[in-house]
Structures are given as structure tokens and as C-alpha cells.
């Protein structure tokens, strides 16, 4: 088979690596890809939002299956464009990717179908939102409705902060059109867990759990980022939590989407918070998490191409999804200054140290070729993942492997996976 992967980050590198394990696959392309993905795939210089060019490429190169890693093209309707041309593609159509694309939609869906989530109100008028805040309990959470690179959520401790937040989201349009509507919701406390799943429209198969570290600095300080590291499984995702979610969240979400005429095929990422009252949904994403994919996929036993095809064909009920009984930790190596201001173009040294080392992976998030070398090309540069028999061993291995890599301004958190000591 010939596979095209759409995207250019660590998640797409992990997908490309996993797809390359499949004996069915003879050729992988990635658009636009990066210098790490180039090890497994021929990188094609077409942007992820250039749907017509991507579809033309898929036709001309007789691609058997396209896998879309990123949220923007999914929410923008890439799957519909491919399907309209008779091309096989893994991911939700536009009318289903709205599960991630609109927080107002997903909150209304959860309310309608009784899926546990924080209490909330939706607003499309900033005046009404400001009035509502006058009587609301602090802290409170403001969410821009649309996609905002994972940055559209503001947690406000005081009324003044919250009012300022409404003004910046809805009036100053800090997140652009993503702020035309917004959700104001109850502040919850508890541990966060990411759960990824495969969905074929009817059946859902849960992957193993993971936990992300969103803040830039140690001790969960600093600004929110795209993710500074992950571990899998989460020791807080107990059997009881799993049973609760299976009964109240996972299948209910898939059935709700089908009942709304928005059959979901692809990956649903459940962002959960384990509150005193039980697990609640913080958010849905319509794709693999990044960097969650970098700890979940190395632990997956199945041929991922079989699973992708089962999702497209509606035969996921015939797949027995299996994960290794081990653990993985991913530490993101960023450029100092990320997520605000950072430099690019520094040579990355030491990548060869990963060659032939089982259980160690280096997934590229932002890299490119320059004069025969690989240089940094983003705020998040690499995700260094290591396996271990348990989380402690995986963490020690990952931090050991972090030392194998060097580039100017290299920065990483030193406490990825520290939470496991509290489990």
C-alpha cells in the first residue's frame, strides 16, 4: 500500500514510524513532513491546508490511504474533499470534526446526551457574557469557541481578570474568529488524563491512557504550550475510572454524534479531569494528541494500518486493540524561550545515537534540512521517548536519552512524569 500522511509535527513522525512497521506498506509520503519524518517517508512540499493539491497528489500517486494528523485540515473539511474524489482517507468529516472545532457545539452535545462535563453557558454577545460574570463564582474558565492552537482557554481568578478575558477574546479577537463565540464554564480541580480512541462511526476502541504536561516550566509553572512531555499509562486512570468512562462517556459520545447525523470516524481524544464527583470531559479533540501519540503509539501492538482501515470501513468491532504491558515517557526538547520568542536554525547533533537502540525514539516536531545538516525549525524541536518496564524506568531512560542530543538553546522540563511518584 501507499500511504500519505498529512502534517509536520512529532505526532505525524510517530504515525509515520508506526505505519512503516506495517508489512502491507510499500511507500509512505508525508505532506509537508519534516527532517525526521524523511527517514520513513518521502516529504512532499504541499501545505496541510492545500486540500485540492493534496487530493491531486493522492490521485496522481495512487495513494491507497491518506491519514490526517492535524486538527486544522480536519476541521476545515479535508476528508470531505478527499471523499468527494473517491479517495480513501482516515479522519472525521467536517461535520464530525466540529467536536473539536467548536467548544460550544461539544458542550451542547454533552449537555443534550448527559455526558459529564463542567457546567457552562455559551455566549455570542460580549455584553451578555460580561453581565453573566457579575454573578459568577471565581475562579472561572473562559474558552474561545474555535481552534486557537491550544491557547484559547483562560483561567481567571478574579472578576476583573475574567472581564478582561471576555474583552480580549470577543472584542479584541485575540484568537481571531475563534472568539466569535465563547464558553464560560465552571472551574474544576483534579488530575488530567488524556485518553485516545479509534472510532468507526459506531464502535469505539480505547487506546491506553496518557498524561500531558502543558505548561512551559517545571512545577507546572509558566505559559501553556502545545505540550512539553507525556507519559503513558497514567497511574491515575484506574479500573474504576475506566469503567465509569466506558459507561458514561466513550460510547455515549460516539452514539450522540451518530444520532446528530455526524457519524464520527477517526481518532477521538478525550481530555478528562478526574474530579471529586468522578471523571468529566474537559475537551474533545478529533485527532491523536501531540505529544500523546509519541508515548501511545510505541506501546501499541497492532498493525496500525489494519486499524485505520477498519475505522474507514466500519469494521472496528473485529479489531482487538492491544498494548504492551510497559510504559513510555516522552520529554520534549524545545528552543529556549518557547512558547513566546525563540530562535531557529541551530544544528541538531547526536540524532545518530538513537540508531539501533530498541525502546528509544526521537520524534521530530520542528526540524529541517540545511546544507546537509538537520537544524531546529520550531519552538518544540524534538520529542525524546523511551520505553521501560514501568513508568519510573521509562522516565530514567528518557532523561538519559535527552543527554544524547545537543543543540544551541536546547531546553526541556526536568520533571516530566514526576506525578507518578505521587501515585
SS3 content of the chain, % helix, strand, coil (to 5): 35, 30, 35
Residue 64 binding partner per list ligand GLY, ligand AMP, none, with a CB distance cut-off of 5 to 8 Å that depends on partner kind: none
From 55-63, 164-172, 179-187, 342-350, give the range in contact with ligand AMP by CB under 6 A. Answer: 179-187
Residue 290 binding partner per list ligand AMP, ligand GLY, none, with a CB distance cut-off of 5 to 8 Å that depends on partner kind: ligand GLY
Residue 187 binding partner per list ligand AMP, ligand GLY, none, with a CB distance cut-off of 5 to 8 Å that depends on partner kind: ligand AMP
Q: Which is nearer to ligand AMP, 30 or 282 (CB)?
A: 282
Residue 188 binding partner per list ligand GLY, ligand AMP, none, with a CB distance cut-off of 5 to 8 Å that depends on partner kind: ligand AMP
Between the two ends of the chain, the Cα-to-Cα distance in Å is: 43
Cα–Cα distance measured from residue 24 to residue 27, given in angstroms and rounded to the nearest whole number: 9
Does 292 bind ligand GLY (CB under 6 A)? Our answer is yes
Residue 419 binding partner per list ligand GLY, ligand AMP, none, with a CB distance cut-off of 5 to 8 Å that depends on partner kind: none
Residue 100 binding partner per list ligand AMP, ligand GLY, none, with a CB distance cut-off of 5 to 8 Å that depends on partner kind: none
Q: How far is the CB of 84 from ligand GLY (least distance, A)?
A: 28
By CB under 6 A, what part of segment 311-340 binds ligand AMP?
Answer: none
Closest CA to 22 of 304, 230, 382: 304
**Nearest-10 crossing angle of helices 10-20, 304-313:** 100
Q: Which is nearer to ligand GLY, 263 or 292 (CB)?
A: 292
273 forms beta bridges with 192, 280
Q: Which is nearer to ligand GLY, 64 or 292 (CB)?
A: 292
Does 126 bind ligand GLY (CB under 6 A)? Our answer is no
The three cell numbers of residue 202 are 459506531
Put residue 350 in one of left, alpha, beta given phi > 0 → left and psi -120 to 50 → alpha: left
From 186-194, 317-325, 365-373, 404-412, give the range in contact with ligand AMP by CB under 6 A. Answer: 186-194
Q: How far is CA 96 from the centre of its chain?
A: 16
Q: How far is the CB of 245 from ligand AMP (least distance, A)?
A: 16
Contact in structure between 387 and 412 (CB atoms under 8 Å): no
* Residue from 102, 181, 234, 285 in contact with ligand GLY (CB under 6 A): 285
Does 34 bind ligand GLY (CB under 6 A)? Our answer is no
Does 192 bind ligand AMP (CB under 6 A)? Our answer is yes
By CB under 6 A, what part of segment 166-225 binds ligand GLY?
Answer: 212
Question: CB atoms < 10 A from the CB of 130, how many?
Answer: 17
The three cell numbers of residue 105 are 457545539
* Residue from 167, 214, 344, 392 in contact with ligand AMP (CB under 6 A): 214
The DSSP H or E segment spanning 81 is: helix 78-84
Does 339 bind ligand GLY (CB under 6 A)? Our answer is no
Does 150 bind ligand GLY (CB under 6 A)? Our answer is yes
Cis amide linkage into residue 26, ω under 30° from 0: no
From 28-36, 182-190, 240-248, 298-306, give the range in contact with ligand AMP by CB under 6 A. Answer: 182-190
Cα–Cα distance measured from residue 164 to residue 297, given in angstroms and rounded to the nearest whole number: 41
Unique residue bearing C-alpha cell 460550544: 104
Q: How far is the CB of 283 from ligand GLY (least distance, A)?
A: 8
**Nearest-10 crossing angle of helices 126-134, 159-166:** 170
* Residue from 77, 222, 271, 359 in contact with ligand AMP (CB under 6 A): 271
Residue 289 binding partner per list ligand GLY, ligand AMP, none, with a CB distance cut-off of 5 to 8 Å that depends on partner kind: ligand GLY
Cα–Cα distance measured from residue 5 to residue 7, given in angstroms and rounded to the nearest whole number: 6
Cα–Cα distance measured from residue 300 to residue 218, given in angstroms and rounded to the nearest whole number: 29
Dump the DSSP string for 320-372: ---B-SSEEEEEEEEETTTTT-----PBPB-GGGGTT-TTEEEEESSEEEETT
Does 141 bind ligand AMP (CB under 6 A)? Our answer is yes
Q: Which is nearer to ligand GLY, 102 or 285 (CB)?
A: 285
DSSP-based three-state secondary structure for 407: coil
| List of residues contacting ligand AMP (CB under 6 A) | 118, 141, 143, 150, 153, 155, 185-188, 192, 214, 271, 282-283
| List of residues contacting ligand GLY (CB under 6 A) | 150, 212, 227, 285, 289-290, 292
Amino acid at each position: 500500500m501507499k500511504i500519505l500522511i498529512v502534517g509536520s509535527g512529532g505526532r505525524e513522525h510517530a504515525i509515520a514510524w508506526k505505519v512503516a512497521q506495517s508489512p502491507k506498506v510499500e511507500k509512505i509520503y508525508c505532506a509537508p513532513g519534516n527532517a525526521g519524518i524523511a527517514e520513513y517517508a518521502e516529504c512532499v512540499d504541499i501545505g496541510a491546508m492545500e486540500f485540492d493539491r493534496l487530493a491531486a497528489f493522492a490521485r496522481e500517486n495512487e495513494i491507497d490511504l491518506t491519514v490526517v494528523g492535524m486538527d486544522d485540515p480536519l476541521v476545515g473539511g479535508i476528508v470531505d474533499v478527499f471523499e468527494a474524489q473517491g479517495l480513501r482517507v482516515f479522519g472525521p468529516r467536517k461535520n464530525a470534526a466540529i467536536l473539536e472545532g467548536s467548544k460550544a457545539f461539544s458542550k451542547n452535545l454533552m449537555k443534550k446526551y448527559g455526558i459529564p462535563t463542567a457546567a457552562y453557558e455559551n455566549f455570542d454577545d460580549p455584553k451578555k457574557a460580561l453581565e453573566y460574570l457579575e454573578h459568577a463564582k471565581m475562579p472561572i474558565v473562559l474558552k474561545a469557541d474555535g481552534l486557537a492552537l491550544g491557547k484559547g482557554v483562560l483561567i481567571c481568578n478574579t472578576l476583573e481578570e475574567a472581564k478582561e478575558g471576555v474583552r480580549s477574546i470577543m472584542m479584541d479577537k485575540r484568537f481571531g474568529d475563534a472568539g466569535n463565540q465563547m464558553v464560560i464554564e465552571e472551574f474544576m480541580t483534579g488530575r488530567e488524563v488524556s485518553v485516545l480512541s479509534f472510532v468507526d462511526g459506531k464502535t469505539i476502541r480505547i487506546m491506553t491512557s496518557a498524561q500531558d504536561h502543558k505548561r512551559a516550566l517545571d512545577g507546572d509553572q509558566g505559559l501553556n504550550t502545545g505540550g512539553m512531555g507525556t507519559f503513558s499509562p497514567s497511574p491515575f486512570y484506574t479500573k474504576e475510572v475506566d469503567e465509569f468512562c466506558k459507561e458514561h462517556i466513550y460510547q455515549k459520545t460516539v452514539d450522540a454524534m451518530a444520532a446528530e447525523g455526524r457519524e464520527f470516524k477517526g481518532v477521538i481524544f478525550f481530555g478528562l479531569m478526574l474530579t471529586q464527583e468522578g471523571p468529566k470531559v474537559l475537551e474533545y479533540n478529533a485527532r491523536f494528541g501531540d505529544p500523546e501519540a509519541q508515548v501511545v503509539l510505541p506501546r501499541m501492538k497492532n498493525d496500525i494500518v489494519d486499524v485505520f482501515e477498519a475505522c474507514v470501513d466500519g469494521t472496528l468491532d473485529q479489531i482487538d486493540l492491544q498494548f504492551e504491558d510497559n510504559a513510555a515517557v516522552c520529554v520534549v526538547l524545545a528552543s529556549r524561550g518557547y512558547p513566546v520568542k525563540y530562535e531557529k536554525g541551530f544544528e541538531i547533533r547526536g540524532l545518530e545515537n538513537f540508531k539501533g537502540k530498541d525502546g528509544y525514539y526521537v520524534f521530530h516536531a520542528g526540524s529541517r534540512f540545511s546544507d546537509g545538516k538537520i537544524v531546529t525549525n520550531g519552538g518544540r524541536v524534538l520529542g525524546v521517548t523511551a520505553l521501560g518496564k514501568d513508568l519510573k524506568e521509562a522516565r530514567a531512560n528518557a532523561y538519559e536519552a535527552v543527554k544524547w542530543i545537543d543543540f544551541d538553546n536546547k531546553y526541556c522540563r526536568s520533571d516530566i512524569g514526576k506525578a507518578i511518584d505521587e501515585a
